Structure 1
Amino acid sequence: MRKIFKSLYSLLLVIAISGCEKPCNESLRIGEIVQIPIQFNGFSISEIDNILVYRIDNSNTSVGDTFLLRDILWANYARSTNEIITDRESSKAQSQFGRYDSYFDNCTLIFDWYTGKDTLLNIEIKKSQEKIKGCHENDPNVKIDKLSFIHKGKTITKDESIQIDK
C-alpha cells in the first residue's frame, strides 16, 4: 500500500512540475507596430477619411504616391477625431517593403484637404528583430528602434501625439 501511495505521489509531483511550464501556442508574435497618434481639430469623421496624403521619398523627390488618409489609419477608416496612423503600405505599393523596413522611412507626408495642408517632415523609422527566447523566437518580433519626424517645427518621437487643425 505504501509503495502504491509513493508511486501515485511521485506521478502527481511530476505532473505538477511539468504543468508549471507555459505551453507554447501557435500564435504568431508580430511585435511592435508604428503608431502616430493624431488629434484632428475641427474636422468631421468623413473629412478625416478623405484627406489626401502625398508621400514624398526624400532621397528622390520626384517619386511619390498619393492616397486617402483612411488607407494608413489604424482601423482603415476614421472612427473619431483622435486617430492613429501606421506605416502600412498603400495598396499601390504592396510588397515593396519588408517587415523591418518602413513605408514612411526617409519620407515626408503632406496632408491636403480642401481648406488647408499640414506636413510631417523627415520621417525616420528604424525597425529590427527583437531577440526572444522560447516559443516565439522564430516569429517576426518587430521592434521599433526609432521613430521621429518634424511637425510644425518640433521634433516628435515615438509615443508622442500631434494635432492637426482645420
Structure 2
Amino acid sequence: VFASCSADASIRIWDSRASPGKASMLTAAGAHDSDVNVISWNRREPFLVSGGDDGILKIWDLRLFRAGSSVAKFKQHSGPVTSVEWHPSEGSVLAAAGADDQVTQWDLAVERDQELEAEGQQQQEEEDDALSQLPPQLLFIHQGQQDIKELHWHPQCPGVMVSTAHSGFDVFRTISV
C-alpha cells in the first residue's frame, strides 16, 4: 500500500496487490486548492502530511480518509511547499520546507492552553501581534537558504535536520526534538 499526490490536486491511496484498474483504493479529490507537491507517510501513526502550491500543510488521518477532508490545516508558508517529512521517532512531529525560503518544524501534540491564554490576555495584547498569530504547533523556523528543495531528518542524531537549496545545504539541530 502506498500513497501518491498529483498536479490534479488529489491524493490517492493505492494497493499494488489489486488489479491495475482497481489499485487506486481511496482518493481525496481536491485535497488542496492547487497542485499537491509532496506527501509523507507517518511511520508511527496513521497520518499523511501533504504540502501544495497553495503553501498549505494538511494532515490526513487514514482512518478518516474516505471522508475526503483533512484533520488539520496550517498556512505558514507564503510560497509552494517543496518538501515534508515526519520525524523518524516522534509520531507527532514533522518538518516542511517551502519556496518562501523557510524550513518549519511542527508538533501536532501541542495545543493552546485556554486558561493560560485568559490569564495572559493583557500580556498578549502588548506583544507583537504577528507573534501572537503563530499557531502553537509551530515550534521552529529556519531561514537563510535560497530556493529550498529538500529536507530530511537525520535517522540517528535526534533533532538534526539537513536541507538542500540552490544556495547550498544546511545541517542544523532544531530546538525541541
Q: TM-score, normalised by structure 1?
A: 0.23
Name the structure with the higher strand share: 2
Larger radius of gyration: 1
Higher relative contact order (CA 8 A, sep 6+): 1
The TM-score with structure 2 as length reference comes to 0.22
